[in-house]
Structure 1
Amino acid sequence: MTTAPSRRRGKIRALLSLGMLLGISQVGTLAAWTDSATVSGGGFSSGTLDVAVGDAAADQLTGPGGSWTHASLSLDGALPGESVARTVTVGNAGSVPLALDASATIPDGALASTDGSGLLLTVSVGGEPVNTGTAATGDRHGVCSGGVSVLVDAPLSSAETSLGIDGVRLSPEEETSLCVSIGLSPAAPNSMQGASTTVAISVEAKQ
């Protein structure tokens, strides 16, 4: 009487065991979920390095390279000891900060000297030009008032003479003014009579 139920329980246990084995096999074959994402850059562009020069912010040479004539930075029929002072405005018309450097030369060599007997150059950063006297009286005198003096009575020649402004930095849209005084040395010899020349001021911008 007791053997039949015992067999049934054994079969049920066997089936239950088989079901557990099938369940474990199915879990092992499930696909793993994945995901991915892409980071895109916001874009890249190059900056511009552009130094602007002129006698006022509204009258400046901009764009790469070029030359600009400062018509009022001149002295006709100068006598020994006479000079003229003018403002040169230098600005940053680019999009990146820049450092300034500048030099002056007399390209053709006339009225040039290395001993201080020709044209002399004086420069101050932020100074104001003050001009007195007249050509008729032969006592024209241009000086730089205030500012930071960086060069005093430096002889001009065909070699480059540094204006002494290296290290001055300008942010974009920032500008500075240079007071430039050029005059004929009081020691100018007779041989310099009747000579004429031009002075070239080269302004260089660096990163």
Structure 2
Amino acid sequence: MSRHKDSVGAKTVLRRIGLALISARARAIMSIGIVLGLGAVGTLAAWSDSATATSGTFTTGRIDIKLGADPAVDNDPSAFTTTMKKVDLFPNDTRSANLIVSNSGSVGFTYSIQAAVTSTTGLGALLNSSVYLGSADGTNTGCSGALLSTVTGLSTPQTFSHQDRPITGQGTTLPLPPPVTENLCFVVKMVGATPSTPATGTITYTLTATSS
């Protein structure tokens, strides 16, 4: 009887040990499952979304100063060149010519005026030049309108001292309206004595537009 009880007791102990091992293994598997579950939650948290907003169109302004009646011409209009000249110039002689300034761009600007003489015999020292806001008279020896300023001694480049003239831009609406214009009149006058050696030269007027 003692052996039978011992045998039964040994089986019981072994069964309990087995159950304990199985239970420990199950808990280990459950623990692994919990870890994996946490990992899955972390993956879900990495999802993302985005949205965008686009601005309207930006277009740069265009600054474009033109001289003369023909809006296709930028420099040296032929009418001004033909009129602003004089052969056999004597002291106190004058000559005048019109010049149309146009803003063909989309933004307003101010412009300054500079005059300089190109000469081989010092003609610039004998000449003065004035600019008026107006038109040349019928004889092309004077100007009507308000005097803006005068420069003297054109042997070196001289800038007219009046405040820079403003011209409004045309805006950005298409098609663009006709250019905004301003009428100027230039007068050239010889001062001083007639030189003993004939002097010949040309005057270049440079109009520089600036937009702020």
Normalised by the shorter chain, which TM-score bucket?
A: 0.5 to 0.7
State the alpha-carbon separation in 1 of the partners of residues 72 and 141 from structure 2: 23
The corresponding residue for 1:200 is: 204
- Shift in alpha-carbon separation, 1:48–1:165, aligned structure 2, 3 A: farther
- Shift in alpha-carbon separation, 1:49–1:90, aligned structure 2, 3 A: same
Contact 1:98 1:170 (8 Å CA) reproduced: yes
Q: Deviations over 1:105-125 (max 9, x none)?
A: 013363121xxxx11111112
The corresponding residue for 1:50 is: 64
Higher RCO (CA 8 Å, separation ≥ 6 residues): 1
* 1:201 Cα deviation after fit: 0.3
Pick one of 185, 190, 202 that aligns with 1:184.
190
Question: Is residue 122 of structure 1 aligned with residue 126 of structure 2?
Answer: no
State the alpha-carbon separation in 2 of the partners of residues 168 and 196 from structure 1: 31
State the alpha-carbon separation in 2 of the partners of residues 202 and 111 from structure 1: 19
- Shift in alpha-carbon separation, 1:131–1:197, aligned structure 2, 3 A: farther
State the alpha-carbon separation in 2 of the partners of residues 164 and 90 from structure 1: 18
The corresponding residue for 1:75 is: 86
State the alpha-carbon separation in 2 of the partners of residues 165 and 67 from structure 1: 22
- Shift in alpha-carbon separation, 1:83–1:175, aligned structure 2, 3 A: same
The corresponding residue for 1:85 is: 96
Give 1:169's aligned amino acid. Answer: P
- The unaligned stretches of length 5 or more in structure 1 are 1-33, 133-140
Q: Identity of counterpart residues, as a percentage?
A: 22
State the alpha-carbon separation in 1 of the partners of residues 194 and 199 from structure 2: 11
For the aligned residue pairs, the C-alpha RMSD in angstroms reads: 2.6
Alignment TM-score, normalising by the size of structure 1: 0.65
Q: Deviations over 1:82-131 (max 9, x none)?
A: 11111111111111111111100013363121xxxx11111112x22115
The corresponding residue for 1:144 is: 143
**Based on CA coordinates, which of the two structures has the bigger radius of gyration?**
2
- Shift in alpha-carbon separation, 1:53–1:166, aligned structure 2, 3 A: farther
Pick one of 152, 156, 163 that aligns with 1:159.
156
State the alpha-carbon separation in 2 of the partners of residues 181 and 59 from structure 1: 23
Question: Is residue 39 of structure 1 aligned with residue 38 of structure 2?
Answer: no
Q: Higher strand fraction: Structure 1 or Structure 2? A: 1
State the alpha-carbon separation in 1 of the partners of residues 138 and 92 from structure 2: 13
The corresponding residue for 1:111 is: 123
State the alpha-carbon separation in 1 of the partners of residues 50 and 71 from structure 2: 57
- The unaligned stretches of length 5 or more in structure 2 are 1-47, 170-178
Q: Higher helix fraction: Structure 1 or Structure 2? A: 2
Question: Counterpart of 2:137 in 1: which secondary structure?
Answer: strand
State the alpha-carbon separation in 1 of the partners of residues 128 and 137 from structure 2: 17
State the alpha-carbon separation in 2 of the partners of residues 190 and 166 from structure 1: 34
- Shift in alpha-carbon separation, 1:75–1:59, aligned structure 2, 3 A: farther
